[in-house]
Chain A
Amino acid sequence: MLESLERDTLAQLVVVTTPSLDGFSIADYSIALGRGWGIGHRERNDGLLLVVAPNERKMRIEVGYGLEGTVDDVFAADVIEGMKPFFQNADFDGGVSYGVSRLSDRVRQNGYRKAA
């Protein structure tokens, strides 16, 4: 699913679950991870990172600058809200795939730089 998204739209979506945030805020953790791994194309800056820290009960969607118009703050917050009920029912996989499908649908719908 993630691979086909990248093939079709060039955007990279990465899901990370971590047992611990090492004491950092989830925002700091996510941006360090996104930059450290170099998610998304360097020029297009089209990486999407979904970080789930189940033990700290935190989630975050980090959006590369190039995708901020597509996945804006309000949409990202809405996806996070939608994921919460899954986690409350201990349906970890369901929560992650809900998040992934909403994010990838959004990127596809906006026809973000179709691959040739």
Chain B
Amino acid sequence: MTSLAAFRTSIVAAAALALSACGINSVPAAEEAAKAKWADVEAAFQERANLVPNLEQIVMSSAEQERETLQSVIQARASATRPEIQLDGDDLGDADKMAQYQEAQNTFGGALSRLMANVEAYPELRSQENFGRFMTQIEGQENRIRVAIRDYNEAVRQYNTTIRTFPDTIGANIIHGAEPMVPYEAVTQGAEVAPTLDMRSDSDTAN
């Protein structure tokens, strides 16, 4: 009797082990992690777009010839924040939608960086204190976007690896019907790879 109970317990334990090893939990966990990182990417892009109204105020007070460059930024921003461009967590496997999103953000980012480069030609604009503040904020935000994209791509890589490798792939295919997700292809050089620093040797010398 006791041996039968023990046998039963071991069956249950083995079944639990087998289930937990085949992606029942790991697949959704990796999926949610990637979705959360995507939300960070979207939030970072949105924050960049939110900076533009400050820019519009500066334009209004600036000379005529500067308005054209600034106008293209405002247009690209409007295009990048269209609702049909938005990409929510359930569409991360859709390569076309991702490409569309990226294109809109790249156009907007490109217009912004052209403006930054052109600003050298406009001493009047450059000398405005609030424009300097805007430049600093944009620079900081571009950096946050880069970090968010990198984190998202890493989460996607982990998710895609999870659903393709044994034993998680069993659960991924049979139970979750998991599809691979699309990484964000960064245009800025070096944005894909996070640096790995030898932190230990650093802290050793500090001690």
Residues of A within 8 A of B (CB): 18, 22, 24-25, 27-29, 31-33, 36-37, 72-74, 76-77
Contacts and interface: CB of A to CB of B under 8 A. Distances in A.
A73 B139 contact: yes
Given A29-B195, A72-B137, A73-B139, 10 more contacts: A28-B190, A28-B195, A32-B196, A36-B199, A37-B203, A73-B137, A73-B141, A74-B133, A74-B137, A77-B136
For the complex, would chain B's binding face be called helix, strand, loop or mixed by DSSP majority? Answer: helix
A69 B195 CA distance: 27
**In the A-B complex, the 4 residue pairs with the closest CB atoms:** A73-B140, A36-B199, A24-B195, A77-B136
14 contacts: A22-B195, A22-B197, A25-B190, A27-B143, A27-B146, A28-B190, A28-B195, A32-B195, A33-B197, A36-B197, A37-B199, A37-B203, A73-B140, A74-B133
Nearest to B138: A73
For the complex, would chain A's binding face be called helix, strand, loop or mixed by DSSP majority? Answer: helix
Contacts of B146: 27
Contacts of A31: 147
Interface string B176-207: 00000000000000100011110100110000
Contacts of A18: 202
A32 B146 CA distance: 13
Size range of the interface on B?
A: 10 to 19
Contact of A74 (B136, B147, B194, B196): B136
A26 B133 CA distance: 21
B165 to A, nearest CB: 26
A33 B198 CA distance: 9
Contacts of B140: 72-73, 76
Interface string B32-62: 0000000000000000000000000000000
Interface in B166-182: none
A50 B137 CA distance: 18
B194 A28 contact: yes
Given A25-B190, A27-B143, A32 B197 contact: yes
A72 B133 CA distance: 11
A31 B141 CA distance: 14
Contacts of B137: 72-74
A22 B195 CA distance: 9
Q: Which of B141, B196, B197 has the most CB of A within 10 A?
A: B197
A104 B96 CA distance: 47
A72 B197 CA distance: 26
Nearest to B205: A19
A18 B143 CA distance: 21
B141 to A, nearest CB: 8
B163 to A, nearest CB: 26
Nearest to A27: B143
A22 B199 CA distance: 12
B136 A32 contact: no
Nearest to B141: A73
